[in-house]
Amino acid sequence: MINCAPLKCNDMISNYYLPGLNGDINESDDSKKLSFNLDEALSPMSYLFYNDTGAFYRKYCDHFDIFKIREKRFLDFETPNRALITHEYDIQIKGDFDYNKFYYLFNPIKRLSWLKISQEGKRLSVAKESQVKAIVKDILITELSRLGDSDKIFNEMWQKKKGLPCFIKLEKKAEYNDFLLTASYYDSIKAEKVKNILCNIFNHIFSYFSPLLERRIKYEYFPLQGKSSWLYIKSPNNFNVRHNSDGSFWDKDINRIDFANSNGEEADPGKLSLTIINSKSINTEKDTVTLCFDIIVPKSLKVWFISIYYVSIGALLITSFNVLNSIYLRFFKPIYYSDPIGQLFLNKNIGGLILAIIAAIIATRGWLISEETIFRKYSLRITFIMILTILLYIAGMIL
């Protein structure tokens, strides 16, 4: 398992994950415990089915991976929160192949949204649950019979298994044996639970200095065995994407991640290309790569937003001090006879300066209307600052 670079309390970037095929990483598996014990030595297939369901399918269910030449996976973020995920497989059929059978494709933990599977553009048949259940039971029947009531034991294992296996039936093409197989579905990011309460409090306070809700997203990928798997990530419009890691992927004894033709520097900051090489085993937990990437505001745009934010805060503080000072002087003698803020507000150009700041805020707010995720907190705060600055400026003129 390859880890992402750990977030620090002052990173000011939110932790999320994209479930994809692997479901909710915050969920507990306590409810999935069996009422009987499975011995790995006596029932190796049943043990593998329950403890590493994906590995069981890859090993025993008409192994389809040998016909996959490569996999290209595309994460196309339509917004910072939602992506269209496309799995694209180059398939090459060699030797005898039974087109009447259902073959294992993948094992999503949760039901995928708007799943479409096609062969060269033609939608394929997906096996019903009863058909997959029959295939698996036929493989395990000998071991199940030794454990007792095979039907009762298998039904419990099936109910508590991990995932919703997807089996497909290919179309026979008389003219060629090479074709493209694609599967696509929509997925949305979810917030990752942070256990450090002090860190949460610190980040909440510090967010007032940097209200942009940029995302750090984890994504798990099980690459093809002994073959190169490609991952393409496209950021939403007007955002950038960057790869983030603690550097452990350079260890030669585990899966390896390489940047594609870029030496770690992408020519297009809105896209990311990675190659993932499997260490030639079927162990799901060991060989699943945890990738980390950030969806961020482009640097030039970020400087503009933050500059406007701080200038607006400065204007708010000045107008606030002027109002408080005016109220104080109505009832008390001045502590200091030098009043630079008051003198500043007597200058006829101060109104134009305040209006210029308000105009800049309004212009910035216009850019934020179409994006209510990363800029949501910024948009609310900058609007509040603008309204409060106007009211305090008017109050200062009256007082």
Q: Which of 63-67, 143-147, 340-344 has the least mean pLDDT?
A: 340-344
Single pTM value for the model: 0.84
Residue 128 Cα to chain centre, angstroms: 29
Using only the alpha carbons of the chain, give its radius of gyration. 29
Residue corresponding to tokens 């607006």: 312
What is the percent of the chain with per-residue pLDDT over 90, rounded to a whole number?
Answer: 28
| pLDDT level of residue 350 (50, 70, 90 thresholds) | confident
Strand partners, 90: 70, 180
Asked if pLDDT for residue 273 goes beyond 70, the answer is yes
Mean pLDDT on 366-393: 83
The 178-188 sheet, strands edge to edge = 122-123, 113-119, 178-188, 82-92, 68-79, 228-234, 271-277, 256-259
Residues whose CB falls within 8 Å of the CB of residue 21, separated by 6 or more in sequence, listed in order: 106, 107, 108, 109, 112, 220, 222
Q: Quick one: CATH architecture of 19-190+220-296? A: Sandwich (2.60)
Tens-digit pLDDT profile for residues 204-223: 677 777 788 899 999 988 88
pLDDT at 177: 81
Residue corresponding to tokens 């707010």: 365
Tens-digit pLDDT profile for residues 282-328: 666 677 888 889 999 998 888 988 999 999 998 898 888 888 888 87
Please state, as a whole number, how many other Cβ atoms lie within 10 Å of the Cβ of residue 77: 23
| pLDDT level of residue 175 (50, 70, 90 thresholds) | low
| pLDDT level of residue 104 (50, 70, 90 thresholds) | very high
Asked if pLDDT for residue 259 goes beyond 90, the answer is no
**Identity of the amino acid at 376:** R
pLDDT at 366: 66
Indicate if the alpha-carbon torsion angle 22, 87, 218, 278 is positive or negative. Answer: positive
pLDDT at 89: 94
Compute the C-alpha angle 307/312/317, nearest 5°: 130
Compute φ and ψ for 167, nearest 5 degrees: -115, 140
Residues whose CB falls within 8 Å of the CB of residue 28, separated by 6 or more in sequence, listed in order: none
pLDDT at 251: 39
Looking from the CA of 140 toward its CB, the CA atoms found within 13 Å total: 30
Asked if pLDDT for residue 261 goes beyond 60, the answer is no
Please state, as a whole number, how many other Cβ atoms lie within 10 Å of the Cβ of residue 305: 19
CB 172 within 8 A of CB 98: no
Tens-digit pLDDT profile for residues 112-164: 999 999 998 899 988 999 999 999 999 999 998 888 888 999 999 999 888 89
Measured CA to CA, the distance from residue 276 to residue 265 in angstroms comes to: 17
Asked if pLDDT for residue 254 goes beyond 60, the answer is no
Alpha-carbon distance values, 59 to 284, 372, 391 (Å): 12, 45, 70
Residue corresponding to tokens 């008017």: 394
Residue corresponding to tokens 């069996």: 34
Residues whose CB falls within 8 Å of the CB of residue 300, separated by 6 or more in sequence, listed in order: none
pLDDT at 345: 67
Q: Using the 8-state DSSP alphabet, how is residue 375 labeled?
A: T
pLDDT at 141: 92
pLDDT at 325: 80
Measured CA to CA, the distance from residue 237 to residue 181 in angstroms comes to: 28
| Domain locations along the chain | 19-190+220-296, 300-398
